[in-house]
Every structure is written in C-alpha cells, then in structure tokens.
Amino acid sequence: MMDRRMVLALLIAGLVVLAAGPAFLSTHAIVLLTLIATTSIITSGLSIVTGLAGQITLAQAAFCAFGAYGATLMSSHAGIPMWVTIPVATVITAFIGYCLGVMSLRVEGHYLALVTLAFAGIVNLGILNLADLTGGAVGHAVEPFVFFGYPLVSPTALYYLSMVSALIALWGVSNLIRSRWGRAFNALRQSEVASMSLGVDVRRAKAVAFGLCAGLAALGGALQSLQTTYLDPVQFTILTGVSYLSVMVIGGLGRLSGAIIGAAIFVLMPDFLGAFKTYMGLIFAALLLGIIMIAPSGLGELVSRHRWFKSPEATS
C-alpha cells in the first residue's frame, strides 16, 4: 500500500505531464488523448451502473447520441452557445436515463439487457428517420464551441477542454463511489433483499444509477462530437454500445481505473491496428475472451494494485 503523500505526488506529477502534454506531443497523440479523455467519461458511467449496481446496459451509445445531438441541435436551432447546451443536454439526458430506469427496472438480468438494446435501436432509428431535425443518414455538422467569443476548435484547445472535463467527471464519480450512494449501489448488486431491509430504496437507487450513467454518456458524447465535428448516426449504433461494455470488461468493471483503461483500448486499438483494421473484430474478440479467462476482473486488476473501490481502511 502506497502512502498518501506518495499517491499525491504521483497525482500531481501526472497532472503536470497532462498539462504540459501539448508542448511535446504530436498532434496525432493529442487527438488520441483527447478521445481517450472523452471516452473515459462515457465508460465511467458504466462503472457505476454495471460495475457497481450490476445492471447491464447496452444503451450507452444511445445516451451519447442524446448528448451530442441535443447539444448541437439546441445550439444550431436556438442559437444558444455550446458551453450552455452541453451541460443542459447532459442534465436532460440524465433525466431521460432516470425515467428509462424507473420504467425498465422492473425487469432484471437478460431482460433488462434486451430493454436497453431495444431503446438503443429505437434511438438510432429515430436519428435516421427524423431527418428534418437530425439530418438523418447524411448526418449533421457540430456547432463549434465558442466561449465568450473565444472559439475552442484547435486540437490543443479541445485537449484541454476534454481533459479538464474528464478529470472533473472522474473525480465526481470517484467521490460518488465512496459515498453512501456508491455503497448502496454496491450493496444492491450483492443482495437486493438485504439492501432493502436496511433502508435502501433499491428501485430508486437503480434509477439514480441509470440517470448518472446516461448523464455521463451525454457529456462524453457531446464533448467527443466537438472533436469529430460531424454527427453521423453510425457513431451511435447498438454495436457501439456493446463495444463500450466490452472494453469495460477488458479494463475492469469493478473499478474506476477500468473505465480509463477501457477507454484507452476503445480509442487506441483501431489506431494501433492501422492497415489491419479489417481484423479488428477478430482481435477484439480474442482479447475479450482472453481477459475473461485469464483475469475476469479486468486489466485493472493486473496493472494496478491500487484499488479505487476499496475503502482506505481495507487490510486485505
């Protein structure tokens, strides 16, 4: 166990490296790091709802779409700047996620997975068919992020914007995990009947977890769209939702570091494979199976000994 000062020193060193990154990294590396930052916001939602609360969701990409389309459409139709519409879209999507949670959490396990799958399908069909609003299959240009007259569009500007947002989001999630809510999510995954008898409103807690997860997806999706600059329905299919969950399994569902590792895999693997991209499905499947067999708790277990989900007083 590292002591507190050591952890703090490493944390500060890490922040300095991240802050200084654009000074010595190539544009390509900056773009990738930005993508990892925004993707880790999306996957951190899954550490709450699936990792902690144990509810499987395949709708994460659909909630990203709500954030990305919501922010851009509000901005382009009503002329509200993106720095306002992104948080607004995040909050609205969190509410939608909460409602989906309330409606669908009467069902459990495979049935819940199917409900979220259906929801993801409906959202994607909605994007394709509401062409007047969303641009349909053609897509829709993303409004640029302009902050009081300063447009943040360069890779470096987006890097800082995404990195700061990701750090704040992950900080919030890690706080939540250590709070009574995190404990309630963790408890209800392990025994619903015991949680209930101890005063945890299980159904409400699950819906709250869903709402938070959806909100994080929306924030990550909206920030990501600033970088891709174009909204294409193909980015938000059921398959993407399944991929988010799969990289989380590789990274480690049970801990927040798994969300960062998962996001890195999600972004770096296609880039790393380059010309061999055709084989990506195959390599990805092999990696997933290998992880399930060798380290069921994910890469986070192998890579780091530091347990984010463990309370500081844990001895073993």
Partner 1 sequence: MSGLLSLLDVTVRFGGLVAVNKVSIDVQEGTIHSLIGPNGAGKTTIINSVTGVYSPSGGAIYFDGRPLAGVAPHQICRRGLTRTFQNTELFGEMTVADNVRVGMHGTAEYGLVSAILRSRRCRIAEAKISERVGELLEIVNLADQRGTQARALPLAKMRRLELARGLAANPKMLLLDEPAAGLRASEIEEMNATLLMLRDKLGIAILLVDHVMPVVMGVSDRITVVNFGQKIAEGTPKDVQSNPAVIAAYLGH
Nearer to partner 1, 278 or 315 (CB): 315
Distance, in Å, from the CA atom of 131 to the CA atom of 65, rounded to the nearest integer, reads: 15
Which distant-in-sequence residues (6+ apart) come within 8 Å of 240 by Cβ? 60, 61, 64
The count of C-alpha atoms lying within 13 angstroms of the C-alpha of 234, restricted to the half-sphere facing its C-beta, is 6
91 part of the interface to partner 1, by CB under 8 A: no
Site string for partner 1, 23-62 (x = CB under 8 A): ----------------------------------------
For partner 1, the binding residue among 129, 175, 228, 229 (CB under 8 A) is: 175
311 part of the interface to partner 1, by CB under 8 A: yes
> Exposure string (b/e) for 285-314, b if CB count within 10 Å is 16 or more?
eebeeebeeeeeebbbbeeeeeebbeeeee
191 part of the interface to partner 1, by CB under 8 A: yes
Nearer to partner 1, 117 or 249 (CB): 249
**Interface with partner 1 by CB under 8 A: which range of 78-86, 104-112, 197-205, 256-264?**
197-205
Work out the number of other CB atoms within 10 angstroms of the CB of residue 92: 19
Minimum separation from the CB atom of position 294 to partner 1 (A): 20
167 part of the interface to partner 1, by CB under 8 A: no
For partner 1, the binding residue among 194, 268, 285, 302 (CB under 8 A) is: 194
Alpha-carbon dihedral 305, 311, 312, 316, rounded to 10 degrees: -60
197 part of the interface to partner 1, by CB under 8 A: yes
- Compute the chain's Rg from CA coordinates: 19
Residues contributing to the site for partner 1 (CB under 8 A): 172-173, 175-176, 178-184, 186-187, 190-191, 193-202, 208, 310-311, 313-316
